[in-house]
Amino acid sequence: MPRISDEAKEERKLTLLQAALECFSAKGYYASTVDDIVSYSKLSKGSFYNYFESKEDIFINLLKKQREESLKKLNTSLNMIDSPMEKLKYWINSDIPYDLNKKKMMRIHIEFWLYSTDSPDVQHILTDRFDILFGMTKDIIMQGIEAGEFKQDTDPEKASALFWELHDGIWLHATIGYNEDKVEKRIKEMEAALLAYLT
């Protein structure tokens, strides 16, 4: 058998991960099978097991990949903005437009949340990710207080909790199809409510 390059191996792995995202977002984790992922990827079942041990293994790898990519992208964007208030506004509005890709990503994140009740490994990854994001939000709010952009008596912990309660509530409703056509409006309402609370 001819050997394939490292680039080709990585491309196959990414193809399988993309196929898993499509399957999990369309059918859910529990209803999806390794055969579904293989069929979608148009690779062989042997190729799947060259890279992943099981459906859970590719699920965890997909979660890790998305965590790394989303955090890198967010940090890069936020580091280009000086004002804490503008950083917060950018973060809130980064979910606009609400397109098909966003719908898939949010569905898979709900799947991660649901599956974490059965998997300590997934729960650990999600908890670590949330702690990082919560800490980033809290830091921005503290910077805003120091810069005089937010009220001096603002509690950064409570304000960060409010940010995530609003954010996750919007996406949970959108994912289950409740007021899906009003997601962007809800995001703008979240922005107005949070800034009113902070200023």
> Does any domain span residue 192?
yes
- How is residue 145 written in tokens? 């207080």
> Does any domain span residue 57?
no
CB-neighbour burial class of residue 102 (10 A; exposed 0-12, middle 13-18, buried 19+): middle
CATH code for the domain in which residue 155 is found: 1.10.357.10
Model pTM above 0.95: no
Q: How many domains are contained in the chain?
A: 1
Nearest to 59 by CA among 86, 33, 39, 77: 33
> Does any domain span residue 68?
no
Residue 167 has pLDDT above 90, yes or no: yes
Q: Show Cβ contacts of residue 31 under 8 Å, excluding neighbours closer than 6 positions.
A: none
> Does any domain span residue 75?
no
> Does any domain span residue 137?
yes
> Does any domain span residue 54?
no
Q: Show Cβ contacts of residue 163 under 8 Å, excluding neighbours closer than 6 positions.
A: 88, 137, 194
> Does any domain span residue 91?
yes
Residue 1 has pLDDT above 60, yes or no: no
The fraction of the chain above a pLDDT of 70, given in percent, is 98
Confidence (pLDDT) at 3 = 66
Residue 180 has pLDDT above 80, yes or no: no
- Give the residue-averaged pLDDT of 135-162: 97
Nearest 10 degrees: Cα torsion 12, 16, 21, 23: 140
- Containing structural domain, residue 95: 83-198
Residue 166 has pLDDT above 70, yes or no: yes
Q: What is the distance between the alpha carbons of residues 67 and 167, in angstroms, rounded to a whole number?
A: 17
- pLDDT 10s digits, 65-84: 988 998 999 999 999 999 99
Question: Could you count the other beta carbons within 10 Å of the beta carbon of residue 79?
Answer: 9
For residue 138, the 8-state DSSP code is H
Q: How far is CA 155 from the centre of its chain?
A: 26
What is the pLDDT of the chain when averaged over all its residues?
Answer: 91
- pLDDT 10s digits, 86-116: 999 999 999 888 888 888 888 888 888 888 8
> Does any domain span residue 65?
no
